Amino acid sequence: MLNRVRSAVAHLVSSGGPPSQRPKSPDLPNASSTPPAASETPKSPPARPGSVVGLPQKTAETRASFSRPTFLQLSPGGLRRADDHAGRAVQSPPDTGRRLPWSTGYAEVINAGKSRHNEDQACCEVVYVESRRSGTGTSREPTQKQGLCFYYWGLFDGHAGGGAAEMASRLLHRHIREQLKDLAEILQDPLPPPLCLPSTPGTPGFSDPSHLVSPQSCWSPQKEVTHESLVVGAIENAFQLMDEQMARERRGHQVEGGCCALVVVYLLGKMYVANAGDSRAIIIRNGEIIPMSREFTPETERQRLQLLGFLKPELLGSEFTHLEFPRRVQPKELGQRMLYRDQNMTGWAYKKIELEDLRFPLVCGEGKKARVMATIGVTRGLGDHNLKVCSSTLPIKPFLSCFPEVRVYDLTQYEHCPDDVLVLGTDGLWDVTSDCEVAATVDKVLSAHEPNDPSRYTALAQALVLGARGIPRDRGWRLPNNKLGSGDDISVFVIPLGGPGSYS
Amino acid sequence: MLNRVRSAVAHLVSSGGPPSQRPKSPDLPNASSTPPAASETPKSPPARPGSVVGLPQKTAETRASFSRPTFLQLSPGGLRRADDHAGRAVQSPPDTGRRLPWSTGYAEVINAGKSRHNEDQACCEVVYVESRRSGTGTSREPTQKQGLCFYYWGLFDGHAGGGAAEMASRLLHRHIREQLKDLAEILQDPLPPPLCLPSTPGTPGFSDPSHLVSPQSCWSPQKEVTHESLVVGAIENAFQLMDEQMARERRGHQVEGGCCALVVVYLLGKMYVANAGDSRAIIIRNGEIIPMSREFTPETERQRLQLLGFLKPELLGSEFTHLEFPRRVQPKELGQRMLYRDQNMTGWAYKKIELEDLRFPLVCGEGKKARVMATIGVTRGLGDHNLKVCSSTLPIKPFLSCFPEVRVYDLTQYEHCPDDVLVLGTDGLWDVTSDCEVAATVDKVLSAHEPNDPSRYTALAQALVLGARGIPRDRGWRLPNNKLGSGDDISVFVIPLGGPGSYS
């Protein structure tokens, strides 16, 4: 993520001094190591709603200085080439090895030097969910179906270090699995989900089946809750539990920095696209573009941030004002009238400048330069628990949300052809590539490959990454139109909507 | 507004007792009286950003028990017929009198008995804005253009009494005018608006022209602010000042209850549609439906309300929880697991029921029965400063927002035909009429009238009101499909998009 955490803003906020945020070497399990055993599954705090109890807390171990996704199967030499800012070789899973699940295409490239290593991470897995409630405690017909599977894709764009992105790439899908364990039977039952369940078997307060509350016994009006909304809730809680785990483990294991997270879960016929940050997902279906996410930035979340600053002014310290101004207010302008916006406004109006308007605005800047507290350019994601305002002890985390927006796409509602794809990309792609340009590349590359060519989706991912990176020319990476390409890390998944293995 | 404020929810929250909210006779200037002189323009608090100082505060006087919009020109007998719940005669401006500005069509009907009087109010005016900054204090070329005009339409749907709706119908456009006075010259100047202006001439701290800050003198990056966003900001601030005026005057003049406000301002080629509440505006253009507002209800604003309850738990007292459950939690369910959603979630998850989950949920119910604090079914609007939870002193106003969402439609971007209209309606219309049904009625009625027939838009408004009211049959007001018509007050404006007088 290019310049997303601005570490040299001292002149804006105070008198200067070294930035307090610096990438540190994360101290986490190596992503290329053996998958953790059951005892390494994520720990949830016992008192949290929807959380899972009884799992051990330790998940970290010492690791090498950096890593890339295991599915790239990089040798030590390959790892060095992937880490080379000068060459910026595009990386994809080897043709010879086991393909990614669901015929997924993937490609990535390291940044042009803005951080020491590639701070993007990726994960693509098929995850089996064992039911935790096997046959106990419902008034329904006993069912033979117990576990279920989901397909999972995750892109994690790190900032201020690679630790959070790496940790999320190894653990977030396990948090999702833990959340789904309670729901495995319910999701496979055609009846509407029960609104109330007995307490967990074996824990104090467990009531026998005669205490079960069936929907019919309610005296008050009740809402219908869909299976789909249970999966959405499970993903939302998994993001929060992942973030809480980072908070717990950050001291012992130096999980420094934070990351945007864009995750897709395929479960029972539906794609759940969960986004927290400024990565983006779009579907290209029969040439049509269907947005599957929106970006969360200081600009798009201005009113949420300002409202929080207004309701909790202590979070602003004495340094910031929750009001937005179109430019910095200068002391000599006291008493004049300047344009401003508060948490309730989308338009602008003039106000008389008072002393506290001279404070730095909570939200400032435009486009890629927009910042919260002059520091960070994304407002949702995981981690960032140590992030402070430069030369200050003021924490920024209270303004950041770990919750994704989840959009659902029902794969069964449309007959998809082999050229219909879901494209996920970090902002390195989208900074220099429009949705329409991606759609044009999809058309160009896929029509040049046979529909049953298993390499076509990887070729498409590579073309997208190459098109955003450009080629070295005139002392920079440049696109065919001679504009600068993206100097950021770039990572792309291409998921064919025809289903797992349909066209390979 | 039918049952929007639920006054008999004592059994849900506590042990009962008489509801604390009752419509009272508002004590305001009669809408049919002489228009107030300049000294009756709204007062703004001196210290508020964007506010206007120096206007007298007194605006109210004793009035009759109820009133209808002056443009209906109702005689005492007509007023009695308009107030008759049994007949429910549809009211429109007389054919013989002066037509409404912009060839606007209007129709209304009283409710079927849910409140004593029609609690909807309406306003349609051409408003002249005199510039407050005539020729002083800018570094620009002096301009001859000083004042400007705007067209204005307002629908106000009252609840718990008619006072707030009546006050808003008489004063909100004047607040908008006051806000625009400062902008009159700026809006007519093709240059971008200045970010900073000298302090108001004549007030302490006024700096001479040499202190002016032009955009070029800024050292820091600056945002471009459009003329359009200044108008949006002016409308937003006018809503807030109107609400503050109601708060100030509520004790002396019994401005009881509250109202939804849907307002359209036409200024310099653009329609600004501002909505706070559950009225609705749609454009029908060449048969196509373009939504120009969205409704603000406990369901659509659930997460905003829950966030406020979470951040400021004192606003919930000991009676409410910010969590939502799909139905009421019962004491015997303690320790069991029930579905819930918090302020961050759009999906549902299970949580173990604890003691404080037995409190009543801040947001409950579905559709027209959704309520905040078991009391009110809309979450934005004006007034409601006295609204308390039934049998409690807990105020509800902190959860209500007076800010509208403003959408802008540029009339110059499309060649409109005489059948293109903007339809505004209170929820009495939309509760029983879909957008598509409105579009069908637009087509049917307008094609039955000549394009230059000046009565066609009133005929359309009448058809829409009649179609929502139905006819008396089987002990109720029924639609042709035998379903119940709306028993609520119904008010409709039809604004032809061809411009003022184009087709008459």
Query: Domains along chain B?
Result: 70-128+146-191+226-296+401-496 (3.60.40.10), 302-377 (no CATH)
> What is the structure's pLDDT at B95?
85
Summarised one tens digit per residue, pLDDT across range A399-431 is 999 999 999 999 999 999 999 999 999 999 999
B503 falls in which pLDDT band (50, 70, 90)?
very low
Distance CA B422, CA B271 (A): 10
Read off the pLDDT of each residue in B164-183 and give the average, rounded to a whole number. 97
Check CB contact under 8 Å for B236 and A347.
yes
Give the three-class secondary structure for A447: helix
B485 falls in which pLDDT band (50, 70, 90)?
very high
Read off the pLDDT of each residue in A129-137 and give the average, rounded to a whole number. 66
Check CB contact under 8 Å for A207 and B336.
yes
> What is the structure's pLDDT at B66?
79
Q: pLDDT at residue A148 above 50?
A: yes
Q: pLDDT at residue A336 above 80?
A: yes
Cβ-contact A262, A281 below 8 angstroms:
yes
The percent of residues in chain A predicted with pLDDT above 90, rounded, is 71
Is some CB atom of chain B closer than 8 A to the CB atom of A279? Answer: no
* Cβ neighbours of A338 in B, within 8 Å: 195-197
* Cβ neighbours of A206 in B, within 8 Å: 335
Read off the pLDDT of each residue in A294-299 and give the average, rounded to a whole number. 97
Q: Which of A61-65, A171-175, A344-348, A435-439 has the lowest mean pLDDT?
A: A61-65
> What is the structure's pLDDT at A22?
32
Read off the pLDDT of each residue in B172-200 and give the average, rounded to a whole number. 93
> What is the structure's pLDDT at A407?
98
Can you spell out the DSSP letters for A457-504?
Answer: HHHHHHHHHHHHH-EE-SSSEE-TTSSB---S-EEEEEEETT-TTTT-
Q: pLDDT at residue B46 above 50?
A: no
Cβ-contact B29, B167 below 8 angstroms:
no
Summarised one tens digit per residue, pLDDT across range B417-433 is 999 999 999 999 999 99
Tokens standing for B7? 């006054």
Check CB contact under 8 Å for B350 and A232.
no
> What is the structure's pLDDT at B145?
57
A1 falls in which pLDDT band (50, 70, 90)?
low
Read off the pLDDT of each residue in B431-436 and give the average, rounded to a whole number. 98
> What is the structure's pLDDT at A470?
97
Break chain A down into helix, strand, coil percent, rounded to 5.
Answer: 25, 20, 50
Is some CB atom of chain B closer than 8 A to the CB atom of A403? Answer: yes
- Residue A142: other Cβ atoms inside 10 A: 9
Distance CA B219, CA B221 (A): 7
In this predicted complex, what is the ipTM? 0.84
Q: pLDDT at residue B390 above 70?
A: yes
| Binding-face residues of A in 292-311 toward B, CB within 8 A | 307-308, 311
B137 falls in which pLDDT band (50, 70, 90)?
very low
Summarised one tens digit per residue, pLDDT across range A207-232 is 433 333 443 433 457 889 999 999 99
> What is the structure's pLDDT at B359?
96
Q: pLDDT at residue A312 above 60?
A: yes
Q: pLDDT at residue A457 above 70?
A: yes
Q: pLDDT at residue B252 above 90?
A: no
Distance CA A161, CA B325 (A): 40
| Binding-face residues of B in 182-211 toward A, CB within 8 A | 182, 193, 195-200, 204-207, 211
Q: pLDDT at residue A455 above 70?
A: yes
Tokens standing for B170? 């008489």
Summarised one tens digit per residue, pLDDT across range B85-127 is 999 999 999 988 688 999 999 999 999 999 999 999 999 999 9
> What is the structure's pLDDT at B250?
80
Q: pLDDT at residue B21 above 60?
A: no
Q: pLDDT at residue B22 above 70?
A: no
A431 versus A504: the higher-pLDDT residue is A431
Q: pLDDT at residue A446 above 90?
A: yes
| Cα B131 to chain centroid, rounded | 26
> What is the structure's pLDDT at B43?
41
Give whole-number Cα distances, A11 to A14, A160, A193, A321, B223, in Å: 6, 20, 55, 17, 20
The angle formed by the CA atoms of residues B247, B375 and B347, to the nearest 5 degrees, is: 115
> What is the structure's pLDDT at B169?
97
> What is the structure's pLDDT at B4?
62
- Provide the mean pLDDT of chain B: 84
Check CB contact under 8 Å for A336 and B213.
yes
CA distance B358 to chain A (A): 14
Read off the pLDDT of each residue in A325-343 and give the average, rounded to a whole number. 95
Q: What letter represents residue B65's amino acid?
A: S
> What is the structure's pLDDT at B220?
56
